[in-house]
Structure 1
Amino acid sequence: MTSMDFIYYIDLLGVMVFAISGAMAANRKNIDVFGATFTGFLTAIGGGSLRDVFLNLRPVWVDDGNYLLAILIGVVISAVANKQLDRLARTLFLFDAIGIGFFTIVGVQKSLSYDSSGIAAVIFGMFTAVMGGVIRDVMLNEVPLIFRREIYATACLAGAVTYVTLDKLGMESGINAFISAVIVFTIRIFAVRYKLSLPIIRN
């Protein structure tokens, strides 16, 4: 499997995970199946599409039907197993944490593959990860996570910086992606578990 193949399959997995996250959030608001599907769709492709626009690229889901299939699978999983998944207290949170880990790394990898600078790749990695959730929360009339007192985007930045650093040191992309995604996931989990947050600047 080539490096580009690896990025592709990780991207598809991230799309499916975010589709589950978006659809489950809509289900919790008692939105109908069309609304849940639409929410899952926008959550899954929002960050990646905006990243591609900034990179002057055509969003990949427009030409590749596998992305829409991954979204459909995610929505179906959320519908079929909604009650079972919802019984797990942190299911939505876990899917979101996994999703931002995948999407951060995909955003960084794709940016670097199109000759972005290391700093720009870090920003695009964070952007790819958080914007789908921002769109989801705004649609559902919730305060986006990046505006709450939670370590969210910061976890993505940490994973993105790790990936760029290890890439400069010559680490194999698959191992690098795994390590960096785990860092995002771990920071996010620990931040919620121990109620960690960044300081607030007060007047």
Structure 2
Amino acid sequence: MEETVSFILEVIGTVACAISGIRLAATKKFDWFGAYTVGLVTAIGGGTLRDLLLDIPVFWMQTWWYLGVTALSLATVIIFRSILVSKDKILFIFDSIGLALFCVIGITKTLAIDYPMWVAVIMGIITGAFGGVIRDILINEEPLVFRKDIYATACLAGSLVYWLLRNTGCSVMVQQLACAAVIIVIRVLTLRYNLSLPVLTGADRTKK
């Protein structure tokens, strides 16, 4: 049952992240191959870094379906371009879903190979956020994770909820769903109320 849930989360997360990357590539007028590449690295970038750090086989090299799902995501954006590309909130929705689900996947896979929870929290954040970093670099944008927008911080909050529920003896499914829900809710509140983290600024050299 747990393996089935994890598989479903991976499929949905891959689609969400791939569409968010392809959608942004479309706004930059990339060709189909360029858009596919951006979508693919958005979907697999964080998990690739996670697996390299954990010294385990890189997940997308074990099966072709990540490549296939990304291709289907590209076809979806092409077919429904007028809806998916023209509306900014669409990007926010897919990005938030992918962020939440990949964070959950990162935590779950790290715990499955007996790393401590604090390592799992870090791997969850990396899995959720790093693909978006690569995406933004490829399309020549300042990475979202480095802006004042609440992004990786939402992953941290969700990971801490996962940790708390794990200590209370809740089922793995409850831990996963609660973690994802917290991340998505924080992202929605961020948009709704224009929330942001404080900006670190240097000294004003114009003042004497």
Shorter-chain TM-score tier? over 0.9
CA distance in 2 between partners of 1:173 and 1:154 (Å): 22
Name the aligned partner's letter for residue 173 of structure 1. Answer: V
Q: Is the 8 A contact 2:46 2:130 kept in 1?
A: yes
Aligned equivalents of 1:47 and 1:138: distance in 2? 14
| Larger deviation, residues 37-46 vs 7-16 | 7-16
Number of the residue aligned with 1:132: 131
TM-score with structure 1 length normalisation?
0.95
Letter in 1 for 2:136: D
Query: Is 2:77–2:85's contact at 8 Å kept on the other side of the alignment?
Result: no
Alignment of 1:157-172 (within 5 A): 157-172=156-171
Contact 1:150 1:192 in 2 (8 A): no
Q: Provide, for residues 22-46 of structure 1, a one-character-per-residue CA deviation record: whole Å limited to 9, x for no partner.
A: 1001001011001000110111100
Within 5 A, what are the aligned runs for 1:74-113? 74-113=73-112
| Contact map agreement 2:26 2:85 (CA 8 A) in 1 | no
> In the alignment, which residue of structure 2 is the partner of 1:189?
188
Q: Which residue of 2 aligns with 1:24?
A: 23
2-side partners of 1:132 and 1:8: how far apart?
19
Describe the SS at the equivalent of 2:85: helix
* Amino acid paired to 2:107: V
2-structure distance, mates of 1:24, 1:54: 29
Cα deviation, residue 191, structure 1? 1.3
What is the aligned-residue RMSD (CA, Å)?
1.3
Matches of 2:42 and 2:200, distance apart in 1: 30
Cα deviation, 1:51-85, whole Å, max 9, x if unaligned, reads: 01111111111111222222222121112111122
Match of 1:90, SS? helix
* 1:5 positional shift: 2.6
Q: Corresponding residue for 1:10?
A: 9
Partner of 2:75, secondary structure, is: helix
Partner of 2:120 in structure 1? 121
User: Is this contact kept in 1: 2:47–2:127, CA < 8 A?
Assistant: yes
Q: Please identify, of 123-132 and 172-181, the stretch whose mean Cα deviation from structure 2 is larger.
A: 172-181
- With 61-70 and 12-21 compared, the bigger mean Cα shift is at 61-70
The percentage of aligned residue pairs carrying the same residue is: 38
In the alignment, the residues of structure 2 paired with residue 107 and residue 125 of structure 1 have an alpha-carbon distance, to the nearest angstrom, of 4
Q: 2: CA distance between counterparts of 1:77 and 1:193? A: 27
The runs of at least 4 aligned residues of structure 1 exceeding 3 Å deviation read: 200-203
Instruction: Name the counterpart of 1:35.
Output: 34
Structure showing greater Rg: 2
In the TM superposition, residue 86 of structure 1 has moved relative to its aligned partner by 2.6
One-letter code aligned to 1:133: G
Q: Which moved more, 1:85-94 or 1:177-186?
A: 85-94
| Equivalences, count | 202
Q: Distance in 1 between matches of 2:88 and 2:38?
A: 21
- State the distance in 2 between where 1:192 and 1:149 align: 12
